[in-house]
A and B are shown apart, each in its own frame.
Chain A
Amino acid sequence: MKLGNDDVRAIAAEARLSLTDTELAGTVRYINNFLDMVDRFKELDLKDVEPFCFAETNVCPLREDVPAAFLRGEEILADRSDSTGAFFKVPRIMEE
């Protein structure tokens, strides 16, 4: 086992996920199996291998700098939890 309960809990918290004890047991097993699977990479000499990139899409297309408003902003706003003002509301950010 590479990672224990605490490690996996910490990683989950990093991804803003909390796990029940049952979920945790399954996830610890899953992550360790996953790491065993990807440990295969260590058999390969990758020193001189470039990270993958699609040859044909090798050049990032560029857009002309012309402003154009999205006309359905109201529909994006309609989805917020609190409709006072045009803001998106979030609870206390700073932890005690």
Chain B
Amino acid sequence: MSDNTKLTFTPVIGIEIHIQLKTKSKVFCSCSADYTNDEPNSHICPVCMGLPGSMPVLNKSVIQQGMLAGMALNCTVQPTTYFFRKSYYYPDLPKNYQITQSDLPIAANGWLEIKDDAGNPKTIRINRLHLEEDVGKLHHSAADGRLEGAETSWVDYNRSGLPLAEIVSEPDVSSAREAVEYVTALRRRVRYAGASDVDLEKGMMRFDANVSVKCSDGRWGRRVEVKNMNSFRALERAIEYEIKRQSKILAEGGEVLQETRHWNDAKETTTASRVKEFYRKFIVEPDLPPLVVSPQWVEEVRGMLPEMPNEKAARYKEMGLSEIDAGVLTDSIDVAQYFEACVAAGANPLRAGNWVRTEVLRAVNDRQAGDRQVGEKQAGDRQFGVKDLPVKPDVLAELIRRIDDGKLSTTLAKNVFEGLLEGLSLDEAVKNSGAAEGGVNAGALEDLVSATLAANADVVGDIRSGKDTKGKKVKFLQGLIMRETKGQARPEEVAAAIESALANPENLK
């Protein structure tokens, strides 16, 4: 065996993603696409059960959603595309063939930009996005619910015939981390486009990865298809595992075989598929004429595509937001829209960005965490989102305007916000926050603090330059203000107002 200590291995990875497109009915029949929590086999008909004599009729929304997803991924929409019958025998596939566009797809030649492992921009090319039908769901009798060892399996065809988009990347991905970044970015854009809810918990996004490894001595391993990943974490771990496994084989002078392997989420390993790899045969689907999309329709759909997250983030940065804020605000289109509505209602973009990123998202997260704890969130329920928040963007804008106008201190504004979350009106919340009750109006307090600090510029200078190690100088300023308000102000409010003013000198009047 050769000295292999210096060998290095370069992974070459292509990702195939199945996404369930968001429609009301299935792709080739009118059965409802929403079967969550319903009885098994309660959403079936002659078409999605493949009964003799039944024929497919294509759902217009599927084409539209496919175009939207493709556009979101910078693909070109193909004017004429075809459907094929892909034959293989499996009990979750009612006709024993799947109707799929395969390699004459609705959208092709796209790309996404990610950061490589060194932090440099990198383009992942997308070969195509093609449409196809989903299969039914299998349940296995084995104790662990897995296929291996199961004496009996049961099929539920509710999922059979749901619309899927398969998105096939070029082998441009070089690491598990890049893979996760690619699918994260892709998921965000597809969700922005409204083409899919891409809810991973509901299996609306599934991953396969083609992994091969090139050895620095010029040897290549064969391509291994790893299947059955249903989460970002599984995708990451499966790729990491495969790279290690294949590198080890090459390092030991072995040969990596071309095969299909299944990711075992519980054991965190991949195992060679014992089911013989499906033998793929294609004929043109004679029951569906070629699909033609007119240039007018393509343009109409393009008009429906919202601004994508990268473009939004760039625009936010131009408004003066930090890269991090812009990133957080554009992660979900709902949050971005909330922020934009807030700005549109007159809020200062910087302060609005800050408020949405901190207070608004915290409120949403608290609510989601609470829902999880209470267990209210059933599989079918939509997760609580920013749209569900009782504080509407125009109200938040008004709150922010009051801060800017000096009518409310930031601290008090946060109290007011809590009141708004409980469903109070802005005026009620202000009243409840103590701003009015506490003798000194918040705006007045801020004015007083500004004036006091301005009059004691030397003390402020000392504090800023870090000379106030024991906090005596701050206490001195606090005493001045308490005296000025004749003891009406609350000490903790005064302290907070001073702290805030010191931290944000630009806010000093």
Contact = CB atoms under 8 A, between A and B. Distances in A.
**A and B touching (C-beta < 8 Å)?**
yes
Interface in B274-300: 274-275, 279, 284, 288-292
Interface of A: 14, 16, 51, 53-54, 57-70, 73, 76-77, 85-95
B44 A73 contact: yes
Nearest to B91: A90
Nearest to A96: B274
B41 A92 contact: no
Interface string B15-40: 00000000111000111110000011
A61 B291 CA distance: 8
A87 B155 contact: yes
A93 B290 contact: no
B311 interface: no
A92 B154 contact: no
B39 A86 contact: yes
Contact of B45 (A65, A73, A85): A73
Contacts of A65: 23-25, 59-62
A85 B155 CA distance: 11
A67 B41 CA distance: 16
B153 A59 contact: no
A14 B23 CA distance: 35
B33 A62 contact: no
Given A60-B290, A73-B42, A93 B147 contact: yes
Contact of A63 (B59, B149, B150, B152): B59
- Could you say which interface size class chain B belongs to? 35 or more
A2 B62 CA distance: 44
Contacts of A63: 30, 57-60
Contact of A64 (B46, B60, B150, B290): B60
Contact of A94 (B89, B275, B290): B275
A57 B287 CA distance: 10
B503 interface: no
Contacts of B157: 88
21 contacts: A51-B284, A58-B290, A59-B291, A60-B291, A63-B60, A67-B32, A68-B25, A69-B45, A76-B41, A86-B42, A86-B156, A87-B139, A87-B154, A88-B155, A88-B157, A90-B91, A90-B153, A90-B155, A91-B152, A93-B147, A93-B275
A69 B40 CA distance: 14
A58 B157 CA distance: 31
Contacts of A77: 41
Contacts of A57: 289
B179 interface: no
Given A87-B139, A91-B152, A61 B57 contact: yes
B318 interface: no
Contacts of B155: 87-90
A60 B58 contact: yes
B152 A90 contact: yes
Q: Which 8 A-B pairs have the closest CB atoms?
A: A70-B45, A87-B154, A65-B61, A62-B60, A67-B32, A68-B30, A67-B25, A88-B155
Interface string B196-239: 00000000000000000000000000000000000000000000
Interface in B256-274: 274
Nearest to A92: B151
Nearest to B42: A73
Contact of A16 (B89, B150, B290): B89
Contacts of A93: 91, 138, 140, 147, 150, 153, 275
Residue from A54, A65, A77, A87 with most neighbouring chain B CB atoms (10 Å): A65
B424 interface: no
